[in-house]
Structure 1
Amino acid sequence: MDLFNTERRVVETAEALAGRLGDDPHHTVAAAAMDTAGRIHTAVNVYHFTGGPCAELAVLAAAATADAGPLITIAAAGDRGRGLIPPCGRCRQVLLDLHPDVLVAVPTPTGPQVRPIRALLPDTYFFPDADARRLVRFNKRHYDAIASGRKTVTIRYDDPIAVGAALFVFEDDAEHRTLEGTVTGVEPHRLDRLTPEHARLQPGTTMTELRESLMSYYPEMPPTAEIHVVTFSLDPGAALPSVT
């Protein structure tokens, strides 16, 4: 996925810190991570023959020290001009267990991209006692509709969402608004067999419009893809008193 401005800030912060590391052989990688309030936390690795922590693990500790809560984006960069680097296997497992909805910045031939942590560690072991806070991302244009209770359904492709409590976050939102809510249901359907009843279409919306919208958001989604109809609600007191 291409980077939003907020995600680009995380990458730039990691790269800037890496550029200041100098020639110290004990600190060769910098990491930056953004929390749901828009704060960026930073840390560097501690290289040691006994197995010092990677920068990604160090920044998790720094964020926890600042009571950051769940993290939404993380990036690491190497010293001496190496630029953005992907996390090692151990860091991927830790991120998946502690921040299962974080997006990780990785280098590609066309520039930085972000990937869901689960995409960097497929078919992996899940630590059953991690009990991580879950996030559900929405486009920022949906904030008012969700906050007012008008929007209670979203359709997702290749985006696992679990039933239960979640923090709703809004992508690239300058105000870093969040809403406390609950995912109440996740129903699998085949896209080509999806009906207005399955999709819980609002009056005035057609299936053609829905499919075109989904294809614009998921351009690589095949016509027979399995999608998930996700229903959700806001926790009492989370909604705005009035939204115009």
Structure 2
Amino acid sequence: MNQPVNDAAVTMLIAVARAAIREHGDSNVHTVAAAVLDEDARVHLGLNLYHFTGGPCAELVALANARAAGARAPRLIVAVGDDNRGVLAPCGRDRQVLVDYYQAISVVLPGPDGPRVVTGDDLLPHTYRWQAQQTQRLRFRASHLPAVRNGSKRVTLRFNDPAQVGPALLVFESGDVDDEVTLAGRITSTVAKTVQDISDAEAQKDGFADAASVLPGLRDYYPDLSSDDYVVFVHFEVDAT
């Protein structure tokens, strides 16, 4: 799962966002910079794009840029305003997006004694949870059901198959819809890596003999997969009930 953020990470991310708005802000269209720290300690930036029709906020642009760079589990986000406005709190729309899609992310907010870090529940308490109405499905071949049931399989590798931390329905497909088995579960973390950067230990968590077995094994599912493609390690749990 995502590791807790520390004060050094917060300070660093604020400084990066502040430098970005100082360099690229124009006091007109681009007035806020956001920075995202991902699961591999990489930083991704975004600027807002002000428009009277409702242009995107810097936080959403930064999150989209993080995703485009292969991040799958953003850990920390901050927005900084131009003209020395400092750390800014996300708007209502951004708060709802963060709660719906990034439940595990930490958010830096301004405070009377300096920046502070909160979770999604603190950011938008008592919110309507859109994702709860549309539980994501994590699909497996039926042959994986015994290992998932006995707990020996808690990781699955995915390519171009979106998965978000949160509740999930684990679906085991046999080719006949009437024979599908489903288990209630939860995705606990997602970590993206290129196939060529996967270690033997990581490969073995998903049942591969070693890292060299990953590419040929996954091509059974994804024929066009290449060694420099990003795949996502999806860690999941099965509900005890």
Give TM-score scaled by structure 2 length: 0.56
Alignment length, in residue pairs?
Answer: 153
- Provide the residue aligned with 1:57 in structure 2: 60
- Provide the residue aligned with 1:85 in structure 2: 88
1:32 to 2:35 alignment: yes
The separation in 2 between residues aligned to 1:41 and 1:74, in whole angstroms, is: 9
Amino acid at match of 2:165: R
Give TM-score scaled by structure 1 length: 0.56
1:46 to 2:49 alignment: yes
Percent sequence identity over aligned pairs: 39
The separation in 1 between residues aligned to 2:135 and 2:24, in whole angstroms, is: 33
Segments of structure 1 that go 5 or more residues without pairing to the other structure are 136-161, 170-177, 188-244
Identify if the C-alpha distance between structure 1 residues 63 and 181 changes in structure 2 by more than 3 Å, giving closer, same or farther: closer
- Provide the residue aligned with 1:68 in structure 2: 71
The separation in 2 between residues aligned to 1:22 and 1:32, in whole angstroms, is: 14
The separation in 2 between residues aligned to 1:180 and 1:113, in whole angstroms, is: 30
1:115-166 deviation per Cα after TM superposition (whole angstroms, max 9, x unaligned): 002211011111133745228xxxxxxxxxxxxxxxxxxxxxxxxxx95231
Task: Give 1:23 shift.
Answer: 3.4
Aligned to 2:130, the other structure's residue is in SS state coil
- Over aligned residues, Cα RMSD in angstroms? 2.8
Q: Contact 2:5 / 2:76 at 8 angstroms: preserved in 1?
A: no
1:106 to 2:109 alignment: yes
Aligned to 1:46, the other structure's residue is in SS state coil
The separation in 2 between residues aligned to 1:164 and 1:2, in whole angstroms, is: 22
Higher helix share: 2
Segments of structure 2 that go 5 or more residues without pairing to the other structure are 137-162, 167-183, 192-201, 203-232
Identify if the C-alpha distance between structure 1 residues 71 and 17 changes in structure 2 by more than 3 Å, giving closer, same or farther: same
- Provide the residue aligned with 2:145 in structure 1: none
Task: Give 1:64 shift.
Answer: 1.4
Identify if the C-alpha distance between structure 1 residues 2 and 70 changes in structure 2 by more than 3 Å, giving closer, same or farther: closer
The separation in 2 between residues aligned to 1:34 and 1:130, in whole angstroms, is: 26
Which one of 1, 10, 13 corresponds to residue 13 of structure 2? 10
The separation in 1 between residues aligned to 2:240 and 2:78, in whole angstroms, is: 30
1:134 to 2:165 alignment: yes
